[in-house]
Chain A
Amino acid sequence: TETFVGHQVLRITPTSDEELQVVQELQDLEELQLDFWLEPRGPGYPVDVRVPFPSLQSFKAHLEANGVSYSIMIEDVQALVDNEQTELLRSRR
């Protein structure tokens, strides 16, 4: 089973085409294993991306280096997934 320990979901809201491009360039880097929950659409629209733990540091550094602000929408994906499983088991009981 795939686990998501340390994965975070970041919410980025590009404010310009330049910032949007920074995000889209990251989208093409397959080695980062990014999972775009909300794809880049245009300036002003939120982009949600699940970032695996190994890529987190470099991903955030790249955004910060390019002045692209972001917020952490989900601090620890695995914690929410575990929550869900607990709920599922509880309701089954």
Chain B
Amino acid sequence: LPLSTNTFDYATYHTLDEIYSFMDLLVAENPNLVSKVEIGRSTENRPLYVLKFSKGGTNRPAVWIDTGIHSREWVTQASGVWFAKKIVVDHENDEGLASILDQMDIFLEIVTNPDGFAFTQTQNRMWRKTRSKQSGSVCIGVDPNRNWDAGFGGPGASRNPCSETYHGPYANSEPEVKAIVDFVKSHGNIKAFISIHSYSQLLLYPYGYTRTPVPDQKELHQISEKAVTALSSLYGTNYKYGSIFTTIYQASGSTVDWTYNQGIKYSFTFELRDTGRYGFLLPAKQIVPTAQETWLALKTIMLYTRDHLY
């Protein structure tokens, strides 16, 4: 394993164990900034780790970023690893990031669906869901982005356990989802929530379960425009943005619909690049440029949140 996060290879995909080891290295190298929190256990009893980046204080306003909730979207976990290192490298010399961390904490869950991720590396590269067993069905797993208590079970998810968008037997049935729900509720001071998927180059905000615009739709649209402009400025990657319902399709039980309804106004979902050719099989050489451009958008959202705390 690499001796330090400086020798870690960010331009390649890694196994679950390598990512967990990376986390431990990053914490060990930066004890005054980074800590690791276990927020729960997955169906197959793997730890659900969240990295906390904080300059101190207690229960400060916070930003949450998660990657890998759909396990086959490998560029997202790999980008999460890159984000973690970026925060450490830039937390003093980047004025914007330094000012964000002066006021807020950042929570980053890199492998949000470890059972599914391990399964993509051993049994089925195309696995998307969790690995929970469903009584009465031979099919395995629930779509963790349809399992949240926001329009749960409505149109835009499937009740068929064999479907890729199966919403599960009940809201928060998946421990990977319940762990985040409990964390968000117990923390109580999260001001921005960003859940990162791939692919199709979109920046989305609630709602997905209904066509009804959210009360803050205008503001979220403006933020999205700024963030997409920043993202595209690096490599010209073309993004669209808008509400989930109007930009892609109706999706019920999704993460950011629930977080928005919890009062986390700045709730967004990213669908990272595929450059129109590779889908979920994005070549490893595109990890770093993807992470770099996405980071510009994330910073835009975090800076806006810092300046508009509520």
Does B85 touch A at the CB level, under 8 Å? no
Does B179 touch A at the CB level, under 8 Å? no
* Chain B hits for A88, CB < 8 A: 12-15
Q: Does B124 contact A80, Cβ atoms closer than 8 Å? A: no
Minimum C-beta distance from A83 to chain B (A): 7
Q: Which of A4, A35, A37, A74 has the most CB of B within 10 A?
A: A37
> Which residues of A in the span 56-93 have a Cβ within 8 Å of any Cβ on B?
73-74, 77, 80-81, 83-84, 87-88, 90-92
Does B200 touch A at the CB level, under 8 Å? yes
Minimum C-beta distance from B66 to chain A (A): 21
A36 vs B126: C-alpha distance in the bound complex, in angstroms? 11
Minimum CB distance partner of A7 in chain B: B126
* Chain A hits for B18, CB < 8 A: 92
Does B281 touch A at the CB level, under 8 Å? yes
Does B235 touch A at the CB level, under 8 Å? no
Does A18 touch B at the CB level, under 8 Å? no
Q: Does A35 contact B15, Cβ atoms closer than 8 Å? A: no
Q: Does B284 contact A2, Cβ atoms closer than 8 Å? A: no
* Chain B hits for A36, CB < 8 A: 164
Q: How many A-B residue pairs have CB under 8 A?
A: 58
Does A12 touch B at the CB level, under 8 Å? no
Among candidates A2, A35, A73, A87, residue contacting B123 with C-beta atoms closer than 8 Å: A2
* Chain B hits for A40, CB < 8 A: 249
A1 vs B12: C-alpha distance in the bound complex, in angstroms? 22
Does B248 touch A at the CB level, under 8 Å? yes
> Which residues of B in the span 226-246 have a Cβ within 8 Å of any Cβ on A?
none
A73 vs B278: C-alpha distance in the bound complex, in angstroms? 7
Q: Does B279 contact A37, Cβ atoms closer than 8 Å? A: yes
A50 vs B280: C-alpha distance in the bound complex, in angstroms? 11
Interface size (A, Cβ < 8 Å)? 27
Q: Does B126 contact A41, Cβ atoms closer than 8 Å? A: no
Does B307 touch A at the CB level, under 8 Å? no
A63 vs B190: C-alpha distance in the bound complex, in angstroms? 48
* Chain B hits for A84, CB < 8 A: 13, 125, 281, 284
Q: Mark B154-189, 1 if CB is under 8 A from A, else 0.
A: 000000001010000000000000000000000000
Does A23 touch B at the CB level, under 8 Å? no
Does B277 touch A at the CB level, under 8 Å? yes
Does B122 touch A at the CB level, under 8 Å? yes
Minimum CB distance partner of A1 in chain B: B123
Q: Does A81 contact B248, Cβ atoms closer than 8 Å? A: no
Q: Does B124 contact A1, Cβ atoms closer than 8 Å? A: yes
Minimum C-beta distance from A35 to chain B (A): 6
Among candidates B14, B15, B124, B283, residue contacting A2 with C-beta atoms closer than 8 Å: B124
Does B95 touch A at the CB level, under 8 Å? no
Does A25 touch B at the CB level, under 8 Å? no
* Chain A hits for B164, CB < 8 A: 35-36
* Chain A hits for B281, CB < 8 A: 74, 77, 80-81, 84
Does A39 touch B at the CB level, under 8 Å? yes
A87 vs B11: C-alpha distance in the bound complex, in angstroms? 10
Minimum CB distance partner of B251 in chain A: A39
Could you pull out 17 A-B pairs where Cβ atoms are within 8 angstroms? A1-B124, A2-B123, A2-B125, A30-B162, A36-B164, A37-B199, A37-B279, A38-B279, A48-B279, A73-B276, A74-B278, A80-B278, A84-B281, A87-B13, A88-B15, A91-B9, A91-B12
Q: What residues of chain B have their CB less than 8 Å away from a CB belonging to chain A? A: 9, 12-15, 18, 122-126, 162, 164, 199-200, 248-249, 276-281, 283-284
In addition to A84-B284, A88-B12, 18 A-B residue pairs with Cβ atoms within 8 Å of each other are: A2-B123, A2-B125, A4-B125, A9-B279, A36-B164, A37-B280, A38-B279, A39-B249, A40-B249, A41-B249, A73-B279, A74-B279, A74-B281, A81-B281, A84-B281, A87-B13, A88-B14, A91-B12
